[in-house]
Amino acid sequence: MAKAIQEVINLMIAEIPNAPLEDSVDTFKCGDPNQEVSGIVTTFTATLDVLRQAVALGANLIITHEPTFYDHRDNTDWLGDDPVYAAKRTFIEEHKLTIWRFHDYWHMHEPDGIQVGVEKVLGWENYQHTDNRYVIHIPPTTVAHVIEQLKQKLGTSTIRIIGDLDMPCQRIGMLLGSIGGDNQIKAFHLANLDVALCGETTEWQTGEYIRDAIAAGQKKALIILGHATSEEAGMQYLVDWLQPKIPEVKITFIPVGDPIQVV
């Protein structure tokens, strides 16, 4: 049975506690929600490369976690006649693609859909969770061993770390994505974290806080995964969550990986 794009979005929002929000970044970024859905792509970011793959798959709805046009609210006035923006916009219009952001709602899902997806990949979902679920109590180990697991399970060969690789640890803060330097610092203190996993950090804030913590004799470490690596398993998990609700529509996760290469 044919479904409109809007119907798919409505049934997703219906699953989120305290939704809909009056003010949210989870809006249509382009396209026509009344169009019949031909296929769905889920992704961390709707890059031009992801959009090309969506067209090849015959999908006209892209559900993205992060913005499409390089701004939290996808305001585009500031871009003016920027040629990169123009190329992306032209491609979207030519192929009649609809892009919808699933950021605030997926984090509001109980439990947080992004964190669940990452935990599933890491095999951490059955460990004790405290502090509104964002602290995971893993079996006692070292920072080096945690990094080894992260590399293996998240499929990344490079991870940045501030702290001591031999430090024992157990309380891991899942500060995925980019929550801001002051929020990272507050989490270390208020949740008494041994280690935090983050996507991005603010080096002059959290970086220096960890450096001072170690100098003051405390045991703290920050593992910087990269924003995409820290969250994209959550958009992969979205396929498992959404597919049973609309079995007639093909849903495909497209990974993007991190934009940065280490040389």
Q: List contacts with Zn ion (CB under 5 A).
A: 177, 231
Which residue of the chain is nearest Zn ion when measured via CB? 177
Closest CB 194 distance from Zn ion, rounded Å: 23
**Residue nearer to Zn ion on the CB measure, 119 or 231:** 231
**Residue nearer to Zn ion on the CB measure, 150 or 213:** 150
What is the number of other CB atoms lying within 10 angstroms of the CB of residue 131? 15
**Residue nearer to Zn ion on the CB measure, 58 or 257:** 257
Question: Radius of gyration (Cα) for the chain, nearest Å?
Answer: 19
Closest CB 179 distance from Zn ion, rounded Å: 9
Angle at 254 between CA 3 and CA 9, to 5 degrees: 30
The position carrying tokens 């330097």 is: 181
Closest CB 106 distance from Zn ion, rounded Å: 7
Closest CB 92 distance from Zn ion, rounded Å: 22
**Residue nearer to Zn ion on the CB measure, 200 or 231:** 231
Closest CB 66 distance from Zn ion, rounded Å: 7
Closest CB 176 distance from Zn ion, rounded Å: 6
Closest CB 103 distance from Zn ion, rounded Å: 6
Candidates 114, 93, 96, 122; CA nearest to 42 is: 114
**Residue nearer to Zn ion on the CB measure, 177 or 226:** 177
Tokens coding 11: 């049934």
**Residue nearer to Zn ion on the CB measure, 112 or 194:** 112
**Residue nearer to Zn ion on the CB measure, 194 or 231:** 231
- Return left, alpha or beta for 177; rule: phi > 0 is left, psi -120 to 50 is alpha, else beta: left
DSSP 194-242: SEEEES---IIIIIHHHHHHHHTT---EEEE--HHHHHHHHHHHHHHHH
Closest CB 112 distance from Zn ion, rounded Å: 9
Sign of the dihedral through C-alpha 219, 122, 53, 6: negative
The position carrying tokens 């382009």 is: 30
Tokens coding 24: 């949210």
Q: Which amino acid, residue 55?
A: V
**Residue nearer to Zn ion on the CB measure, 177 or 181:** 177
Say what angle helices 208-215 and 181-190 make with each other, to 10 degrees.
30
The whole-angstrom separation of Cα 250 and Cα 69 is: 26
